[in-house]
Structure 1
Amino acid sequence: MPVTSPDRPNWYLLQCKPRQDERAHLNLLQQNYVVYHPQLVRERVIRGKRQRVSESLFPGYLFIQLSRNDNWAPLRSTRGVSRVVEFNHGPATVAEHVIEHLRGRCLASEMATDEALRPGEPLQIISGPLSPLEGVFLALHGNDRVMLLLQFLNREQSVCLPRSVIERQTRAFQPCH
């Protein structure tokens, strides 16, 4: 556990009431607290249309920056906040480098969806039993899986693979006709 200083602010973990992360976040900001609510940007199919949505990385939790000298009493009555998470009879501190790592991960998710895969885009399988086959992107299948059209065993096959095992390909794939 990091050493805490009464003068220097540290990051702490707050538990929110069920499905009230956003409410707690807004209410804490209105009280001038420094709050971090890590969110990942994902592509989802909603009512037949692909849309970008933000999802909480840790549903039900927020990070707040406070020093030991700050007034913690308003946290208990802030709408949406359930409690300050504690370990060993004291508030659980979160190291600054952990917060920075989370910020980087969330920023990377925003950038990754900006470069979203498009139907017909050539891709290559970079690991697993189908590596190094090449295919064409068909569609997203959930958050972390993709449907590919492969030229396999002298015919076109559609396969569902984890997004982590594919990468963009510069050469075009030629399906058989």
Structure 2
Amino acid sequence: MTNEEKKNGCWYAVYVRSRYEKKVHQYLLEKGLSSFLPLIETLRQWSDRKKRVEEPLIRGYVFVHINYHKEHVHVLETDGVVKFIGIGKTPSVISERDIDWLKRLAHEPDAIGETVVSIPVGKRVRVLAGPFKDMEGVVKKEGREERLVVYFDSIMQGVQITIAPELLAPIEKASLEQSPETKKPGRHEVESAIRHMAHS
């Protein structure tokens, strides 16, 4: 962490009590702290009705952007907060890239599957187009279906998403300067794949 980052603050993940994500997020905002809780809208079924509700994308976690040395005590004193996520007593800094990915994932709830707590063994790929463009992950097979697991090392959690295989390219081949083997899919291929995602 650079001195500039220490001064301006960084993103950190805090682990919270079960079902306290929304409360902790609100408490932190009321303290004037910068808090981020990625939520997705899901359809819940009760015996007599159905209702769309907002649930945490990754249960048990709230993200804060703070100057750690000056503000971490205010976070820890918040009702429902258990601890900062990190190695030993050192909290892990969450990259701006990961925060951006979480925000983008939260905006595509229909593509989201279950979260995973261990990175699966599989082919590492990068998304070439669509709402998840430039995200990286591992392709995981479930029966005949393939899903992309976007894994966040800093919190040791992953999110499964459904995505058309035409939009994926192996990491070692995907680059800004596309070679013949890694030519981006054509416009019609991309549009077809995105329509497939929307209706799957």
Which TM-score band applies after superposition, normalised by the shorter structure?
A: 0.5 to 0.7
Matched with 2:76 is: 76
Structure 1 unaligned segments of length 5 or more: list them. Answer: 113-127, 130-143, 145-164, 170-177
Tell me the amino acid that sits aligned with residue 40 of structure 1: I
Matched with 1:50 is: 50
Q: Is the 8 A contact 2:111 2:197 kept in 1?
A: no
- C-alpha RMSD over aligned residues: 3.0
CA shift, 1:37, in A, is 0.8
Q: Is the 8 A contact 1:11 1:66 kept in 2?
A: yes
Structure 2 unaligned segments of length 5 or more: list them. Answer: 113-143, 146-160, 162-195
Q: Distance in 1 between matches of 2:100 and 2:90?
A: 23
Matched with 1:14 is: 14
Secondary structure class of the residue paired with 2:71: coil
| Rg (Cα) greater in structure | 1
Tell me the amino acid that sits aligned with residue 50 of structure 1: K
The answer to whether structure 1 residue 93 and structure 2 residue 89 are counterparts is no
Q: Distance in 2 between matches of 1:111 and 1:18?
A: 25
| Deviation sequence 1:110-137 (CA, Å, 0-9, x none) | 799xxxxxxxxxxxxxxx69xxxxxxxx
Q: Is the 8 A contact 1:44 1:52 kept in 2?
A: yes
In the comparison of the two structures, how many residue pairs are matched?
119
Do the aligned partners of residues 67 and 80 (structure 1) sit closer, same or farther apart at CA in structure 2, a change above 3 Å counting? Answer: same
Matched with 2:36 is: 36
CA shift, 1:68, in A, is 3.7
Q: Distance in 2 between matches of 1:166 and 1:92?
A: 34
Higher strand share: 1
CA shift, 1:87, in A, is 1.4
Q: Is the 8 A contact 2:11 2:93 kept in 1?
A: yes
Q: Which has the higher contact order (CA 8 A, sep 6+)?
A: 1
Higher helix share: 2
Q: Distance in 1 between matches of 2:198 and 2:103?
A: 24
Q: Is the 8 A contact 1:7 1:69 kept in 2?
A: no
| Deviation sequence 1:122-174 (CA, Å, 0-9, x none) | xxxxxx69xxxxxxxxxxxxxx9xxxxxxxxxxxxxxxxxxxx88649xxxxx
CA shift, 1:72, in A, is 1.7
Do the aligned partners of residues 3 and 42 (structure 1) sit closer, same or farther apart at CA in structure 2, a change above 3 Å counting? Answer: farther
Tell me the amino acid that sits aligned with residue 23 of structure 1: K
Do the aligned partners of residues 7 and 49 (structure 1) sit closer, same or farther apart at CA in structure 2, a change above 3 Å counting? Answer: same
CA shift, 1:33, in A, is 0.8
CA shift, 1:9, in A, is 1.8
Matched with 1:60 is: 60
Identity of aligned residues (%): 18
Tell me the amino acid that sits aligned with residue 86 of structure 1: G
